[in-house]
Structure 1
Amino acid sequence: MIGGLIGALIIAVLAPSIFGVSRNENPNSATIQQNEDKTTKEQVSLDVSTDVTKAVEKAGKGVVGITNIQTANFWSTGQESQQAVGVGSGVIYKKEGDKAYIVTNHHVVEDATELEVTLSDGRKVPGKQQGSDIWTDLAVVEINSKDLGEGFVTEFGDSDALHIGEPVLAIGNPLGLEFAGSVTQGIVSGVNRAVPVDINKDGVPDWNAEVIQTDAAINPGNSGGALVNIAGQVVGINSMKIATQAVEGIGFSIPINYVIPIIEDLEKYGEVKRPSMGVTLRDVAEISAYHQEQTLKLPKDITYGIMIEKVMANSPAAKAGLKELDVIVALDGDKVEDVVSLRKYLYNKKKVGDSMKVTYYRAGKKQDADIQLTDETRL
């Protein structure tokens, strides 16, 4: 019995060293705990600089917020007051003397009685609409450049050089000024896309906008903001977004090479100087087969073209001898099938003062006429 007791004591004393067991489950736990405490006290600070951050730093300062303020009439009191009805984005592209110029969308400034521009540093300055164009959805806003420091003017890139799959960034103010200067990243999903635009809201496309397609998130408020390449250059002005339950990640931007001549006209004239024929038009496809044959007397193989509904007095069309019910089928030898294609040719290929050959049918007979284009308000 004495020997057994002595053996038990020996085992009790030597057990920790034999089996590596101590009062702590892990003999190194105290050291680990000390290291953990030390780590939590020391915050990791990294100076991250990538092509994306550099592009944002270069272009982001020139993206502004634009608040559309309109006069509201309260019928209950008979008094008028100014109310903000929407917020969009804009891009400072030029500084000249005591003025700076901002490009934005037409629908951002439409019907505004006042404009307020919020700079990227938070300052708010009054803006003045210099000109606007509904066809391209572009507008120019002017602000005082007195307190505008360095880095606020963006650099334009070459939108014709864009490639599908190229990374791009959308900078703007989605959902208003609360999220001012937001940046989303994506790629160029498509170039030279044609998107139908209904100008007069009658359900019939009046124009095909030529745009860049991107999957960079573009939300309400981003309109007028910048689409930027990885070099920090503005390559597009964000304008439209398809937002339905079935479609996601499809945004559109107006190519900057297309924007430049438009904003130059808006700066100089307050409007875009476009050539005009001086007529009102209707697609032949909208006219019944009976009237195509009996009224217009078109050959059976001519089921396309544009019928002249009205010719303005002293217009280029009137001077060239064109009349009501004439059906235009070609311009300078290029086939035109509808009003949209006619506008596209006229606005993109011709200038005020140019001469244009019009091929048309009158009472079933094919004829030609030369028109000297002016800048009338009608086609």
Structure 2
Amino acid sequence: MRGLGEERMNRVGKNGAIALLCSLMLLSGMGTAQAQQKGTTQSAKQSAVKVSNKVSTDLVPQIVKEVSPSVVGIIGKGDVSQVNANSDRYNLMHGTGVIIRSNGWIVTNAHVVKGLKNATVVTTDGKSYKVKEIFMDETSDLALVKITANALIPVKFAKSIQDTEVGEKVIALGTPISFSLRNSATVGVVSGLNRGVNASYRLIQSDTAINPGNSGGPLVNMKGEVLGINTMKFAAVGVENMGFSIPADTVQYVINQLMKYGEVKRPSLGLSLEESWSAIVGLPSDDPLMVTKVLSQEAEKAGIHEDDVLYSINGTAVTSIVDINELFKAYLPGQTVKLLMQSDGDIVIRKLVLSRQGLLIPDEESEAYEL
């Protein structure tokens, strides 16, 4: 009996041990499952955080919020001779402007304020201000507008557009179509740089939607800096998303001149110049410019004649009118420059005192320009 009891006890002990082992294994399995579930939950949370962070990297809403207070609407009565009175019962015209000084200085397009009467500026907070002064430069299509205001928020211009890349995301802010649509934002990319199209200076091309009323508004990069001022677009059947902006460096050049002189004092070579056929059609070219007419006494004194050929100004090669305009942003009338030219088959250097003249006056009978 004793042996049987011990054997029974041993059996019970073994069975108990087996049961305990199974319990431990079950608990261990449950723990592993819970750990796996916990790990899955943590992984899901981390993924959610990553997705959340990914969404938050879109800077467009933040930049629009930051720059928008510096963007204004400009409205007034248009010139009856330029506007179809039947198209607008109130004969109102509007555009966009950008605050550049906290004390009420605003930059916009010259074509926005030209002929505009009773011009009014409306800020993003809904306040209205009568325009007190306007300084225009139609050559660059830029103008300065002054209102009586303080503590306005000026924009920050890009110091240089040289670091801007084609394909870079940009935002256009403005007042398209209706004045009630002030501070509308459209997003696109830089389509091209240094575009010499229908303008005296090189422009930035982008595919951001630019509509009537956007003129004078900013083209902004992802740093919240103004790359340029929107000025025009190509509009025709089959043409889409081809807008152009005046680069920040040209805007600053004109602003500084208008602030200092009340006008832009542009230098002139005192010559009528003709571009090569390649330059006219936009082909890559290093062909020089030909003198078609000598217009100033300074040019005559320098010994320049018709049919002479111009290669460079102060060591910088020029192959188009826009090249000269861009170069002359660093000069004033009265300064002396050295011209590398060809005259009667000889390569010569002419010293020329820059005269004062308007810019880019094309000869209607040819492709010549007065500079």
Change (3 A) 1:258 1:336: closer
Deviations 1:278-310 (CA, angstroms, capped at 9, x unpaired): 233444759xxxxxxxxxxxxxxx985222424
From 36, 47, 65, give the equivalent of 1:57: 65
CA contact (8 A) 2:288 2:310 kept: no
Q: Does 1:91 align with 2:98?
A: yes
CA contact (8 A) 1:87 1:221 kept: yes
- Once residues 317 and 85 of structure 1 are traced to their aligned partners in structure 2, the CA distance between those partners, rounded to angstroms, is 47
Q: Does 1:123 align with 2:127?
A: yes
Change (3 A) 1:168 1:338: closer
CA contact (8 A) 1:64 1:119 kept: yes
Per-residue deviation, 1:366: 4.4
Alignment of 1:1-379 (within 5 A): 51-70=59-78, 72=80, 84=91, 86-96=93-103, 100-145=104-149, 148-149=150-151, 152-158=153-159, 159-190=161-192, 192-197=193-198, 207=200, 209-283=201-275, 305-312=289-296, 314=297, 316-345=298-327, 347-348=328-329, 350-377=331-358, 379=371
- Once residues 172 and 275 of structure 2 are traced to their aligned partners in structure 1, the CA distance between those partners, rounded to angstroms, is 38
Per-residue deviation, 1:70: 4.2
Q: Which runs of 5+ in 2 are unaligned?
A: 1-54, 82-89, 279-285, 360-370
Q: Which amino acid aligns with 1:107?
A: H
Which sits farther off after the overlay, 271-280 or 51-60? 271-280
Q: Which amino acid aligns with 1:182?
A: S
Deviations 1:114-167 (CA, angstroms, capped at 9, x unpaired): 42222222332221444222232211111111xx455x3222234333333332
Deviations 1:51-90 (CA, angstroms, capped at 9, x unpaired): 32221111101111122534548xxxxxxxxx74521111
- Once residues 231 and 237 of structure 1 are traced to their aligned partners in structure 2, the CA distance between those partners, rounded to angstroms, is 16
Change (3 A) 1:119 1:275: same
- Once residues 176 and 275 of structure 1 are traced to their aligned partners in structure 2, the CA distance between those partners, rounded to angstroms, is 40
CA contact (8 A) 1:116 1:125 kept: yes
Per-residue deviation, 1:327: 4.0
Change (3 A) 1:154 1:340: closer
Which sits farther off after the overlay, 267-276 or 172-181? 267-276
Per-residue deviation, 1:263: 0.8
Change (3 A) 1:243 1:323: same
Q: Which amino acid aligns with 1:229?
A: N
CA contact (8 A) 2:291 2:305 kept: no
Per-residue deviation, 1:91: 0.3
CA contact (8 A) 2:174 2:214 kept: yes
Q: Which amino acid aligns with 1:172?
A: G
Change (3 A) 1:213 1:342: closer
Per-residue deviation, 1:107: 1.6
CA contact (8 A) 1:130 1:270 kept: no
Name the SS for the 2:167 alignment partner: coil
Change (3 A) 1:324 1:128: farther
Residue equivalent to 1:16: none
Residue equivalent to 1:202: none
Name the SS for the 1:266 alignment partner: helix
CA contact (8 A) 1:328 1:359 kept: yes
Q: Which amino acid aligns with 1:87?
A: H
Q: Could you tell me the percent identity over the aligned residues?
A: 35
- Once residues 319 and 374 of structure 1 are traced to their aligned partners in structure 2, the CA distance between those partners, rounded to angstroms, is 12
Alignment RMSD (CA, Å): 3.1
Change (3 A) 1:92 1:84: farther
Name the SS for the 2:202 alignment partner: strand
Give the number of the structure whose residues are more often strand, by fraction: 1
Name the SS for the 2:197 alignment partner: strand
Per-residue deviation, 1:372: 2.0
Per-residue deviation, 1:338: 4.6
Change (3 A) 1:184 1:140: same
Structure 1 length-normalised TM:
0.66
Residue equivalent to 2:9: none
Count, aligned residues:
290
Name the SS for the 1:253 alignment partner: strand
CA contact (8 A) 1:70 1:114 kept: no
Structure 2 length-normalised TM:
0.68
- Once residues 303 and 257 of structure 1 are traced to their aligned partners in structure 2, the CA distance between those partners, rounded to angstroms, is 27
- Once residues 315 and 154 of structure 2 are traced to their aligned partners in structure 1, the CA distance between those partners, rounded to angstroms, is 44
Name the SS for the 1:102 alignment partner: strand
Change (3 A) 1:92 1:335: closer
- Once residues 128 and 193 of structure 1 are traced to their aligned partners in structure 2, the CA distance between those partners, rounded to angstroms, is 34
Per-residue deviation, 1:110: 2.3
- Once residues 333 and 154 of structure 1 are traced to their aligned partners in structure 2, the CA distance between those partners, rounded to angstroms, is 36
Change (3 A) 1:318 1:339: same
Name the SS for the 1:54 alignment partner: helix
Per-residue deviation, 1:236: 1.8
- Once residues 358 and 204 of structure 2 are traced to their aligned partners in structure 1, the CA distance between those partners, rounded to angstroms, is 29
Name the SS for the 2:266 alignment partner: coil
Name the SS for the 1:58 alignment partner: helix
